Structure 1
Amino acid sequence: MANLASFLETSAQQYPDRTAIIFGDTELSFPQVNGAANQVANLLVSRGIEPGDKVALSCPNLPYFTIVYYGILKAGATVVPLNVLLKGREVAYHLADSDAKAYFAFEGTADLPIGEAAWEGFEATESCEQFFLIKLDSAAPAPLEGPEHYAPLVAEQPPTFETVEVDDDETAVILYTSGTTGQPKGAELRHRNMRDNALAGKDLFGADATNPDTYLCVLPLFHSFGQTCIQNGAIAFGGTIVMLPRFEAKAALGLMAKHQVSYFAGVPTMYWGLLGALDESVDVETLAKNLRVAAAGGSALPVDIHRQFKERFGVTILEGYGLSETSPVASFSVFGEEPRVGSIGKPIPGVEMKLINDDWSDVPDDVDAVGEIAIKGHNVMKGYYDRPEATAEAIHDGWFRSGDLAKKDADGYYFIVDRSKDMIIR
């Protein structure tokens, strides 16, 4: 079955007693998550959402994200995950640019009123027809007047659904990226792009459904790193996702101990945070005994983090590289080898990388040569949504140009040197 949602359905059938998601005191089994996703799919179909339609989602790391994400996919629609920090006018831009027909948004908090910004953006977008407000406590007073509420609507829907079959090359997800210009562009990722990248965990770090990992999810799920490497990877291999909406080092260490976390992925600041929070109250030996994989991306890890983390946790941090346009993983450290500090590793199986000049010509094979990273393989996006010119500039003969400058050593390991263009950080 080509649909990315087949991950969830297969795990629900094969591992009915396993816990799929833990959030606070809530534990959801694979069949429970699958049934809830089916209710979302039924709701969407009842509102006229058809295969190929776009459905937006604004939600932090909560079980609702995964449930709605897979529900959208089951209906044959395309998920458009949005950054929860977007303001109302930015939400409106993304909804209009992606042609979203429906929109699910979490209410947020006083500090981060996601629901208010979402509703403002929805109200300003004529083409988006449906809005569903997700509340953490369905019995609590509504923060907004006007929106329909998620909980009572899905409660009316049956927990069974015949997942829409899709072609491998149909778009599963549109991930918005600033890239090297100020106006965000939507990277169209096929079902096969997302599937193959999540399944790469088998080769990259020995992911095994018969001996599943417990993943701590601190990376935002609306971003490709958390979405593919944590959520979809865990669901595909029958693992457990322990969700933390906002990274806080002490809370993360507590969850790692409580739930025997074996897989952690984060950016360098998170690793600094974990190391800085290790005091007498933390049983590091137990954490180290459980931890099997530590993955990092976003920027190069300083040698101090590598050294200290290996000393305290007994695990070598595996650094990788990728972009929203590459689903995201393009290269990764070699599992079991000593780390090459500063390296983003080698291309993952099924993916090629090379260094190119501005005119797409290959850079000479020399350890001192600097060139722009180009990537080809199962992970490369279909293109930028509704932007044929930008797509043609970025993809040539199947090769995607990254905008990142790098060197390659004699053993084929890549090292980022710089951005080839100024990137706007969002």
Structure 2
Amino acid sequence: MTNLADLLTGTAARHGDRVAVACGDTRLTYEQLDRAANQVANLLVAHDVEPGDKVAMSFPNLPQFTIVYFGILKTGATVVPLNVLLKSREIAYHLDDSDSIAYVAFEGSPELSIGQAAASASEESESCRSLIVVPADLSHAPWASEPTGFDTVAVEDDATAVLLYTSGTTGRPKGAQLRHSNMRSNAIVSAELFGCDEATPDTYLCVLPLFHSFGQTVIQNSAIALGSKIVMLPRFDASTALQLMRTHRITFFAGVPTMYWALLRAADDGIDVSGVADNLRIAVAGGSALPGEVHKDFFDQFGVTILEGYGLSETSPVTSFSVLGEPPRIGSIGVPIPGVEMKLINDDWSEVADAINDDGYTAIGEIAVRGPNVMKGYYQRPDATREAIHDNWFRTGDLARRDDDGWYYIVDRSKDMIIRGGYNVYPREIEELLMTHPAVSLVAVVGVPHDSHGEEIHAVVVRDLQHGELTEAELVDWAKQRLAAYKYPRVIRFVDSLPMTSTGKILKREL
């Protein structure tokens, strides 16, 4: 019996005076963070939240995220972190699909009205009974008057700590059930992987969204496990990030490739980076492959080799990483982390031959993963779970090959997935929405290369002219109102027909 929240409780007992979180002018010690999480737990219990219930939350990278996250866990409930860019229609779907009985949301800003979307969604939701809106000022938090003591509920290791929504090629998002043991072990192994030490704690810059598993595990939970300091940046900006790296003497940075590209551009544009290289110890990347020139330029500028890794929401997320202290192997996602197994499989789950071909690699196969990081299944989707997990092996949908040293190299992602600015976008969800427009007859969504975002979202559309003329701008605006900012297509191309197979499947590779 344990609880992922014990990471915070234990560190608060050992290092209560250490700074846990810094954001703007706000500083919270571990003791203050733990007490605030206890207050959230007491507030949730007052709202009739019980162990095993689901509680959704929507916050950018602010201290409130961590406070609410651990407050939910302390009650024995499951955290359902939602992307802050979701529209009210999308939020309502997540609330009902997860059976969330309560929803804690940041009030937002004029640019991003999270609270307004949360209010609309909670009214539309059938499962959500309580909405708690949290202001920016912590002194006015809705839990401010609650007691600061709370006995964390012990749960079975197999209990679900986090229900993390991930889109799939089959359409609408589905929730990956991550156990307390999944999240705890992945956080601790990640910290060990990067040589983190509780006696000489790192200072992390948190620019990865905490509502994603990468930010939760590699930054938040790993840092808290060892009493490290987390400097939060609510919205990534390269110049601001470099300034924070200098003033806070950041030792640990994690980001997606577009962030590294932006940091290098900011440095080239004359931003003062003196002092950054003196302190930076670890730089890690995930999401998509880093070009060789980014590796070289970052090392030349900051004196640190970027470590690249691989993972998925369903694997808590870290599955493999390049090796600390070794030179980068461009295009590689590294080797399996301790305790995790990886193999390459065929469509029928049979293993790809280990033989190394003349090009220095095995044959291409789909990556399968087994270990303490693998989810227990998709929430209320037994068929999808059976399709994804066999004999404790999880098939990722990503194609790769392996070299003679056991390093893996991604050669293609899940068949249709687009990665835009580090966010996973699955075309089918967008296609299904666009097809509800009366003037759309048929649509295919594809990703095309983009200099700063990695990929951009393009929709190729066959119009239904019986419903009047439809312009590209009108359809973009229509989609923008219904999809998160990272999802809606920026470019619409109208065509008379789409290329198809004899069975009626759209040939996206010809688009």
After TM superposition, give the deviation of residue 324 of structure 1 in Å. 0.2
Counterpart code for 2:374: V
2:340 aligns with 351
SS at structure 1 position matched to 2:171: coil
1:222 aligns with 211
2:135 aligns with 135
1:89 aligns with 89
Counterpart code for 2:298: F
Task: Tell me, yes or no, if structure 1 residue 61 matches structure 2 residue 55.
Answer: no
- 291-300 or 8-17: which moved more? 8-17
- 414-423 or 352-361: which moved more? 414-423
1:414 aligns with 408
Matches within 5 A, 1:106-117: 106-117=106-117
Task: Tell me, yes or no, if structure 1 residue 26 matches structure 2 residue 49.
Answer: no
2:373 aligns with 379
Matches within 5 A, 1:7-406: 7-137=7-137, 151=140, 153-279=142-268, 282-366=271-355, 367-406=361-400
Alpha-carbon displacement from aligned partner over 1:387-407 (angstroms, at most 9, x marks no partner):
100000000000000010000
SS at structure 1 position matched to 2:119: helix
Counterpart code for 2:97: D
Counterpart code for 2:380: D
After TM superposition, give the deviation of residue 111 of structure 1 in Å. 1.6
Counterpart code for 2:177: E
* TM-score with structure 1 setting the length: 0.95
Structure 2: tracts of 5 or more residues without a match = 356-360, 418-425, 428-486, 488-511
Does the 8 Å CA contact 2:60/2:210 hold for their aligned counterparts? yes
Counterpart code for 1:394: A
Runs of 4+ more than 6 Å apart:
none
Does the 8 Å CA contact 1:194/1:379 hold for their aligned counterparts? yes
Structure 2 distance, partners of 1:384, 1:120, is 27
Q: Give the count of matched residue pairs.
A: 415
Does the 8 Å CA contact 2:22/2:28 hold for their aligned counterparts? yes
After TM superposition, give the deviation of residue 285 of structure 1 in Å. 4.2
Structure 1: tracts of 5 or more residues without a match = 140-150
After TM superposition, give the deviation of residue 178 of structure 1 in Å. 0.4
Aligned pair in 2 of structure 1 residues 272, 280: CA closer, same or farther (>3 Å)?
Answer: closer
Alpha-carbon displacement from aligned partner over 1:295-331 (angstroms, at most 9, x marks no partner):
0000000000100111111100000000000000000
Counterpart code for 1:75: T
Counterpart code for 2:201: P
- Greater relative contact order (Cα < 8 A, sep 6+): 1
Aligned pair in 2 of structure 1 residues 420, 216: CA closer, same or farther (>3 Å)?
Answer: closer
Q: Which has the larger radius of gyration?
A: 2
* TM-score with structure 2 setting the length: 0.80
SS at structure 2 position matched to 1:111: coil
Structure 2 distance, partners of 1:152, 1:384, is 33
Aligned pair in 2 of structure 1 residues 89, 155: CA closer, same or farther (>3 Å)?
Answer: same
1:145 aligns with none
Alpha-carbon displacement from aligned partner over 1:44-94 (angstroms, at most 9, x marks no partner):
111211100000000000000000000000000000000111111110000
Structure 2 distance, partners of 1:152, 1:282, is 36
Structure 2 distance, partners of 1:186, 1:80, is 9
Does the 8 Å CA contact 1:180/1:403 hold for their aligned counterparts? no
After TM superposition, give the deviation of residue 138 of structure 1 in Å. 7.2
Does the 8 Å CA contact 2:353/2:362 hold for their aligned counterparts? no
Counterpart code for 1:417: V
Does the 8 Å CA contact 2:134/2:142 hold for their aligned counterparts? no
